[in-house]
């Protein structure tokens, strides 16, 4: 088993999530961050949505990996990042 799922309530604002998992006695810690971005702050609609998202990711802290991108509505997206280990 290489994956598991933890269901969290849908966030309405930025949030941090810390998960500790014990496997064969060894504890693994994971950190996630959910952040909301308004695409208008990144040139939308003059710029394509995909290009706005690329710009957001290019400017983001390099200590975090992109984990999931979720549309919230036409103008906003929620991006989940995972702390690099």
Task: Tell whether the model's pLDDT for residue 1 goes beyond 70.
Answer: no
Task: Tell whether the model's pLDDT for residue 6 goes beyond 90.
Answer: no
pLDDT at 76: 93
Average pLDDT over residues 66-70: 95
pLDDT at 11: 82
Look over the chain and give the mean of its residue pLDDT values, rounded to a whole number.
92
Q: Check: CB of residue 33 under 8 Å from CB of residue 80.
A: yes
- Greatest C-alpha distance within the chain: 53
The single-letter DSSP state of residue 4 is: -
Entry pTM: 0.86
Closest by alpha carbon to 75, among 48, 37, 46, 47?
Answer: 37
Cα–Cα distance, 8 to 55 (Å, whole number):
27
């Amino acid at each position: 088993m290489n994956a598991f799922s933890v269901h969290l309530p849908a966030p309405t604002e930025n949030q941090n999530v810390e998960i500790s998992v014990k496997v064969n006695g060894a504890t693994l810690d994971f950190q996630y961050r959910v952040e909301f971005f308004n695409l208008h702050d990144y040139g939308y609609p003059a710029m394509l949505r995909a290009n706005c998202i690329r710009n957001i990711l290019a400017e983001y802290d390099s200590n975090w990996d992109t984990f999931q991108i979720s549309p919230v509505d036409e103008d906003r997206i929620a991006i989940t990042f995972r702390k690099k280990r």
